[in-house]
Structure 1
Amino acid sequence: MIKKGLTSLAIFFLYLLSLLPFWFLYLIADFLYLILFYIAGYRRAVVQENLRNSFPEKTEDERKIIEKKYFHYLADLFVETIKAISMTEKQVKRRMYLLNEEVVQHYFEQNRSIVAVVGHYGNWEWGALRTSFLTNHRRIIIYKPLHDKASDELYKKVRSKFGVTLVTMKATLRKMVEYRNELSISVFASDQTPVREEAHFFTPFLNQPTAVFLGIEKIATLFNSVVIFADIRRVKRGYYQCTFVPLIEEPKQTAEYQITEAHVQYLEKVIREEPPYWLWSHRRWKFKPE
């Protein structure tokens, strides 16, 4: 009972915090950056190792600049994720601008469903919210449940509040078969880390052999869904824009691993162009191929 009460209190506090104006939340983010970077040193060793392995061609000073910018962004991302709890449709559309949503409509007019690939880059949580207003066809977000049940429930509630369908990674195939007679856009993360037992395919990514899930390729091929990349870029503090980039139009005509390598390589291109806005504190390279 105590644990449940504390959880409810924490969620209520986060909701109240989300009601604060953006300018005040970014003041909190500035303070949070100081704590994360200078006081707590939150995963700085992980970030430094990831940057060193990913960009051996850069100088130590260049990597330090990326590291500092990353922690500024991470603090902003933290308060922006909280703000998502109470964001309105108008706020979502204004702060996550779609440059070419007609690409999605074009494939729907051809009676084609879509697999949209994103990375943990920019603000993918706001991107998930923006998907809610993209079309009247079914919108599906594939997600990996959090270990903490209370946090997972909160994330599910926020992500689905405007009408998207949430599907866990393990239930993806079953649900996609269930929805196979409907036009849909399904959003998958390109850079989730599989557990060792499921790491069946490695491909070069940021200068390192990297384990990649093959689910995107399998689903796209099975249902012949067009594969596009949702390229989310940070325009300025609190504002993002998304460009839909077609990667594969005829999945059934591709070679094995072609789809997987296409979306992994595109994400690397995005990261190399603006490195600070990827999730560098994530332990992406937990293990190497044998």
Structure 2
Amino acid sequence: MKLLICLCSYAGYGFLWIASFFPLPMMYWVTDILFLVLYYGIRYRRGVVDMNLRNAFPEKSEEERKRIARRYYRHLCDTFAEFYKLWHISEAEIKRRCVMMNLDVPHHYFEQGRSVIVFAGHYGNWEMMYSYKLWEKGIELIPIYKPIHNKVFDRMTYLIRSRFGATPLAKADTLRVMLRNQKEGKICMTGFIGDQTPNKHSLNFWTTFLNQDTPVMEGTEKIARKLNQPVVYLNMRKVKRGYYHAEFYDLCSDPQNLEPGELTRMHTRMLEKFIRENPEYWLWSHRRWKHKRPAEQR
């Protein structure tokens, strides 16, 4: 069985490597078919998506929520093509397709000799943020990620995410590496995805998000406060199919002056704002609300 899984993994690796050479418009022909399969055929996580949209937008009609769901599945399928295209896309093309906006926000802190923490959500196509190094070559970009159990696909994902000079860092090593970088005086941008679901042993902080009682991970805020690194928010705004504006927003210049929990509320509220503007671009098939607040914390 292990041999079969290994062979299938390498076959998938080879297929995606070849597919990534095709022009993105051609890859969209495939994702158009994939949309029909996922949405109408196998109905991939349709129950999760419908429930999430119903709870998040009770004020919308059923038809409005169905329209958001259809658009979401089309966008989700497109993000697959856009991610694997990063493997062989040219620097000129990715800079046309993902334009970094408000670069003065993080650059202001770099000029002060300070590293920056950047929050983002599973919104737009967050994977394109790894092209940031093409715009700010002198700064090390360290996106935090959770390794994939399948070693072949984990290696593939790492190669794609580091293609333009980023240095992906496994979640378990985050604090150790950030402390070392600060001690050595390295100026870095460390990227966190702020809408991950905490595991059942880390359900300590709750807030209202999209009309629902929601647990939020505190780890990033604790690191920001411990190192007192300024925090910015990155929104991946979709302009049209295959084109994004990566917009930086100043969130907090001095996290240690905030009350515990406030920074987490700030980035959660900002993400919610962008989701409400264009809800079809958030990851609705994610089981974001699988945990319920324990009675003793209510």
TM-score, normalising length: structure 2: 0.94
- When the two structures are aligned, how many residues end up with a matched partner? 290
1:197 aligns with 2:212: no
Whether 1:126 and 2:128 are equivalent positions in the alignment is yes
Give deviations 1:260-283, integer Å, cap 9, x for gaps.
100011000010010000000011
Residue 32 to residue 258, structure 1, CA distance change in 2 (3 Å): same
1:87 shift after superposition: 1.6
Cα shift at 1:168: 1.5
Partner of 1:52: 54
Kindly provide the amino acid, as one letter, of the partner of residue 226 in structure 2. Answer: L
Equivalent position SS for 1:165 = coil
Q: Which amino acid aligns with 1:267?
A: L
CA contact (8 A) 1:114 1:228 kept: yes
Q: Write the letter of the residue equivalent to 2:95.
A: K
CA gap of 1:150–1:127, structure 2 versus 1, over 3 A, is same
Q: Does 1:217 align with 2:221?
A: yes
CA distance in 2, matches of 1:6, 1:20: 22
**Separation in structure 1 between the aligned mates of residue 196 and residue 73 of structure 2, nearest angstrom:** 21
Counterpart of 1:286 in structure 2 is 290
Shift, 1:211, TM fit: 1.2
How many angstroms apart in 2 are the aligned matches of 1:210 and 1:148? 30
Stretches of structure 2 that go unaligned for 5 or more consecutive residues are: none
Shift of 1:134: 2.6
Contact 1:100–1:243 (Cα < 8 Å) also in 2: yes
The alignment status of 1:231 with 2:246, answered yes or no, reads no
**Residue equivalent to 1:68:** 70
Partner of residue 145 from structure 1, selected from 127, 144, 147: 147
Match of 2:263 in 1: 259
Task: Name the structure 2 match of 1:110.
Answer: 112
With 96-105 and 5-14 compared, the bigger mean Cα shift is at 5-14
TM-score when normalising by structure 1: 0.96
Give the aligned partner of residue 177 of structure 1.
Answer: 179
How far does residue 64 in structure 1 lie from its aligned partner after superposition? 0.7
Two-structure CA RMSD over aligned residues (Å): 1.3
**2:246 alignment partner, one of 242, 247, 251:** 242
Ranges in structure 1 where 5+ consecutive residues have no aligned partner: none
Deviation string, structure 1 residues 63-112 (Cα, Å, up to 9, x no partner): 01101110111111111112112122222211100122122211111122
CA–CA separation in structure 1 for the residues paired with 2:233 and 2:81: 26
SS of the counterpart of 2:168?
strand
Contact map agreement 2:130 2:164 (CA 8 A) in 1: no
C-alpha separation between the residues in 2 aligned to 1:41 and 1:23?
Answer: 25
Please report how far the alpha carbon of residue 10 of structure 1 lies from its aligned counterpart in structure 2 after TM superposition. 1.6
